[in-house]
């Protein structure tokens, strides 16, 4: 397939835009200088803490899904015509197993989507991966009270199903047309050469590596969770040995090369958008506890009480901020200490972990602007409504 080139007119517009930004932006202003510094500090922090241990394993899993997973099985269980209870049931609780952030889930989402999953179940998985994080829900329960913890758990699971069904309904014709494209089936023959048991060992070994190498410390929130945290490297090594065994025992050299090529392609598709998105997010909002262009105190002043406006602002802020796994809890503590209401707190918890500016850019590259805008709008509006209702009850 020929690469899509930028037209000369678009290239000129980009050059002019960069020139105007360089000419007019007051880089010497303290606020601008601090925001630029925060952008690169956040990118450095993201590269050190999330790329090697989170994104790289996720990309290898996505590559394996694309190359080896039986496509007809994906379509049967996650396609647009699959039983809704099964498809959305599996997708909506996936986060309890994965416990990944809004960026780490992207390669996995792209993998199952390219393999033939319907738009609805794929988007349900995309939302639930970061949102239905069992430790984050437990910590929310412990730190903010059982009401907010329970509301977050119920809201996240319901939203995953509602958003997925809404996306499938709105874009049903486009999705059915996508699944008739013969190019989607180019890896089908290779995917059938492995038995179910072999594929289970291979896939679950990589999932185990992703899950346990990133196992977070609950700091006393759960004794069992912290016990696993103390032994996470040993557990990860066990899954790594399983992966090595499966590769040496069941895979040919050309299959491993094809897997590596698919993984490389995912990296090239995702990383540029993520890195640029992290820079923009850092420039606008900064790292947790650090001000950038938009001061945290200013955001906190807008989310007091329980008005439609405060819940909407909380949803918007959560949608554009980048939350690494579990960081939404201390961030929310700070905002609530500054006067954030209970309703906006829930709105941020429902919108924040599942979305971020970097993830929006990647989703746009896969789904297009229209589908991405609808997805973001659904998350923001549902989070706003949930926060408003919760704030009125509490």
Of 192 and 135, more confident: 135
Classify residue 242 by its DSSP letter. H
Report yes or no on 11 lying in a domain: no
| Number of alpha carbons in the 13 Å side-chain half-sphere of residue 115 | 30
Report yes or no on 17 lying in a domain: no
Query: Mean per-residue pLDDT for 327-339?
Result: 76
Q: What pLDDT shows up at residue 189?
A: 47
pLDDT, tens digit, 9 for 90 and up, residues 157-197: 899 999 999 999 999 888 888 877 645 555 444 444 677 78
Specify whether the CB–CB gap between 23 and 262 falls below 8 A. no
Rg (CA), the chain: 21
Q: What pLDDT shows up at residue 187?
A: 45
Of 3-7, 84-88, 94-98, 202-206, which one has max mean pLDDT? 202-206
Report yes or no on 136 lying in a domain: yes
Report yes or no on 204 lying in a domain: yes
Q: What pLDDT shows up at residue 378?
A: 96
Classify residue 7 by its DSSP letter. P
Closest CA relative to residue 76, chosen from 68, 65, 86: 86
Report yes or no on 68 lying in a domain: yes
Report yes or no on 73 lying in a domain: yes
Report yes or no on 28 lying in a domain: no
Number of domains composing the chain? 1
Q: What pLDDT shows up at residue 11?
A: 85
Query: Is 22 strand, coil or helix?
Result: helix
Its domain, for residue 171, covers: 35-393
Contacts of 50 (CB under 8 A, 6+ apart): 101, 103, 104, 324
Per-residue confidence band for 363, with pLDDT thresholds at 50, 70 and 90: very high
- Report phi then psi at 57, rounded to 5: -60, -40
Q: What pLDDT shows up at residue 2?
A: 42
Report yes or no on 231 lying in a domain: yes
Per-residue confidence band for 348, with pLDDT thresholds at 50, 70 and 90: very high
């Amino acid at each position: 397939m020929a690469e899509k080139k930028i037209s000369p007119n678009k290239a000129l517009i980009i050059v002019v835009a960069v020139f105007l930004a360089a000419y007019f932006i007051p880089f010497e202003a303290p606020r601008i200088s601090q925001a630029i510094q925060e952008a690169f500090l956040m990118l450095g922090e993201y590269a050190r803490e999330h790329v090697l241990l989170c994104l790289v394993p996720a990309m290898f899993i996505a590559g394996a899904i694309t190359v080896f997973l039986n496509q007809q099985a994906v379509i049967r269980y996650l396609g647009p015509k699959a039983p809704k209870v099964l498809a959305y049931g599996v997708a909506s609780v996936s986060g309890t197993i994965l416990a990944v952030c809004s960026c780490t889930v992207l390669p996995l989402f792209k993998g199952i989507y390219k393999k033939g999953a319907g738009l609805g179940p794929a988007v349900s998985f995309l939302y639930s991966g970061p949102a239905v994080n069992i430790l984050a829900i437990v910590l929310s329960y412990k730190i903010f009270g059982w009401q907010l913890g329970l509301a977050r758990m119920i809201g996240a699971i319901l939203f995953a199903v509602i958003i997925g069904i809404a996306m499938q309904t709105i874009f049903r014709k486009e999705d059915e047309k996508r699944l008739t494209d013969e190019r989607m089936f180019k890896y089908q023959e290779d995917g059938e050469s492995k038995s179910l048991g072999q594929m289970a060992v291979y896939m679950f070994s990589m999932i185990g590596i992703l899950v346990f190498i990133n196992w977070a410390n609950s700091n006393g929130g759960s004794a069992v969770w912290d016990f696993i945290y103390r032994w996470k490297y040993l557990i990860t090594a066990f899954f790594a040995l399983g992966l090595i065994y499966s590769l040496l025992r069941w895979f040919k050299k050309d299959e491993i090369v094809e897997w590596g090529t698919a993984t490389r392609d995912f990296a090239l598709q995702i990383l540029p958008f993520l890195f640029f998105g992290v820079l923009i997010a850092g420039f606008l909002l900064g790292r947790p506890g650090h001000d950038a262009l938009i001061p945290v105190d200013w955001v906190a002043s807008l989310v007091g009480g329980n008005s439609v406006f405060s819940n909407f602002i909380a949803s918007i802020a959560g949608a554009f901020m980048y939350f690494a796994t579990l960081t939404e809890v201390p961030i929310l503590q700070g905002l609530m200490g500054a006067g954030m209401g209970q309703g906006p707190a829930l709105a941020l918890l429902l919108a924040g972990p599942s979305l971020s500016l970097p993830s929006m850019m990647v989703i746009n590259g896969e789904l297009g602007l229209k589908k991405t805008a609808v997805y973001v709008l659904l998350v923001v509006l549902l989070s706003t409504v949930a926060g408003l209702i919760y704030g009125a009850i509490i």
